[in-house]
Amino acid sequence: MASEKQRSLLLESTSRFPIPPGVRFSYGTAGFRSDGLILGSTVFRAGVLAALRSIKTGHAIGLMITASHNPIFDNGVKIADPDGGMLTQKWEPFADALANAPDPQHLLDLVVQFAEEENIPLCGTQSAEVLLGRDTRPTGESLLETAKQGINAIIGAVAVDMGILTTPQLHWIVRSRNKGTKASEFDYYAQLSKSFRCLIDLIPENIVKSEVDPKVLVDGANGVGGEKLEELKKMLKGLDIEVRNSGKKGGVLNDGVGADYVQKEKVAPSSFGSIDMGLRCASLDGDADRLVYFHVLSASDNSIDLIDGDKILSLFAVFIKEQLSILNRNENDDVFNSLPARLGIVQTAYANGASTDYLKQMGLEVVFTPTGVKYLHKKAAEYDIGIYFEANGHGTIIFSEEFLSLLHARSDELSVSMAGSERHKAAVRLLAVSQLINQAVGDALSGLLLVEAVLSYMGWSIVRWSQLYADLPSRQLKVKVADRNAVVTANAETEVVQPVGLQKLIDTETAKYPRGRCFIRPSGTEDIVRVYAEASTQEAADRLANSVMQLVYQFLDFTNSHV
């Protein structure tokens, strides 16, 4: 039961942040996101939610002010759970209700009711800790102060301002803090640089390095990632990083720069051009949780060869599979004990079909989930080692605690009986990867270092990496509809259940095209149905997408006319 002091504090605090008229907020994969100037009430309420989540879990919670790859004047807020992952889906409806409560009394009633249902004490003796971070957006500082007021509206809650961070840094800090390990921004840099150095030191001596240019050019999207990479590179040895679009020379965040721009437009970002032809380039997004690579093909139109999240995933899969194979190789020792590990690759239906074929041909287990990081991450966590990436460059590798314990034990055993052997080195490499990659969330900085380490290990140039497989031509279209809920999908959004009969026609149309694949799915935020099509040629992919778009129009018009 909430104390009277708690009720009065919450009512008084909430009254200072009235919700804007005519706007409804919805918590999704991106948290809450909108024009930064109208987000005050939402961020305040997110602060309340974060404090309640901390009381419920008994651990530190993260609250990040960012709008990632959105334009500079947008902003947003998202919550990090104790494991550094996203806010549990179970709390998303409460987040929506809280953000849209029309007045202080409604909000108080919601909080009291939810607290009773979740057994969250609000008697005045509870404690909570919320770690706050923000990116470099102009509205970030004021919104962070607003979040503090929301946190302080819950008695016993403490807001800890961690300053300007990338989103993955805050997630990493939350996870580390709750695991009882070192958890400052400096500790983040130290762990990444140490594990990267370990991987570089274990590159086989017979690797031909002539193909690998030690320099990588990085587009920082004029955001926080560029600034943080400048700090990280001071602690690195064995890698030459040149950061462009760091935001220090007047560039605008996410304007003609960043991973989202490069991946969607398939052109070089600002500050990249003819002088960079053939060089290895990478691009971060605005809050540095996405990463794509590219190299410039043409000086005339800034066209590029894009290496997206699918190929980053494939590179990591090749490396991890090889290390597991080496670890379990019998080198004629007297006692041979393999270390079985279930390696899983998790994709969405938007993954290019050529990448899926490549991974399956490697003998890897590939599974699909609905679109959204929360689905991918949850599925990947079911494996001993789970790798997931979306084409947009967001993804990571997750190691189960049980497997890491076994790996540590095996590494210790081998250090005694077979120190310096390839099996021992493979164990150490896998442990280094688990320290380098950000297991809480996709992280462009840790991902960049792992890509660079693996390319060096393989002795591959960016062109060789790009040639792992050839992407199938694809096309994505949007269809505006009266009600997106008229479309219901199954099997990781690859099959239409409603309207009845539509999937059969999509299958018939798809069968007309060599290597054809097509699916539709409703948007999660607006009345749009998205169409994705692949085929052996771009012309065929375009025709397939347009044909299915017409089917969507026909069926939804028919469906809506009978509602």
Dig out the tokens for 107 from the structure. 């909000």
Tell me the backbone φ, ψ of residue 15, rounded to 5 degrees.
Answer: -65, -20
522 in a known ligand binding site: yes
Binding site annotation covers 33? no
Annotated binding-site residue? 201 = no
Name, in order, each residue with C-beta under 8 angstroms of 532's C-beta and a sequence gap of 6 or more: 349, 350, 474, 475, 476, 518, 519, 520, 521, 545
116 is in an annotated binding site: no
CA dist 386 → 347, 529, 532, 547 (Å): 11, 30, 26, 36
Say how far apart CA 415 and CA 424 lie, in whole Å: 6
DSSP 8-state code for residue 484:
G
Dist. CA 537–CA 397, nearest whole Å: 32
Residue 429 labeled ligand binder:
no
**Annotated binding residue 392:** yes
Q: Would you say 530 is a known binding-site residue?
A: yes
Q: Does the annotation place 340 within a ligand binding site?
A: no
Residue 37's CB is within 10 A of a number of other CB atoms, namely: 14
- 334 has binding-site annotation: no
Tell me how long the chain is: 563
**What is the β-pairing status of strands 32-35 and 281-284?**
unpaired
Instruction: Let me know if 496 is exposed, middle or buried by CB neighbors in 10 A (0-12, 13-18, 19+).
Output: buried
Q: Tell whether 138 is in a known binding site.
A: no
Half-sphere exposure of 179 (CA within 13 A, CB side): 15
Residues marked active site are found at 68
**Residue 342 known to bind ligand:** no
DSSP 158-219: EEEEEEE--HHHHHHHHHHHHHTS--SHHHHHHHHHHHHHHHHHTS-TT---TT--SEEEEE
Residues of each annotated binding site: 68, 285, 287, 289, 390-392, 521-525, 530
Residues of each annotated binding site for Mg(2+): 68, 285, 287, 289
Residues of each annotated binding site for substrate: 390-392, 521-525, 530
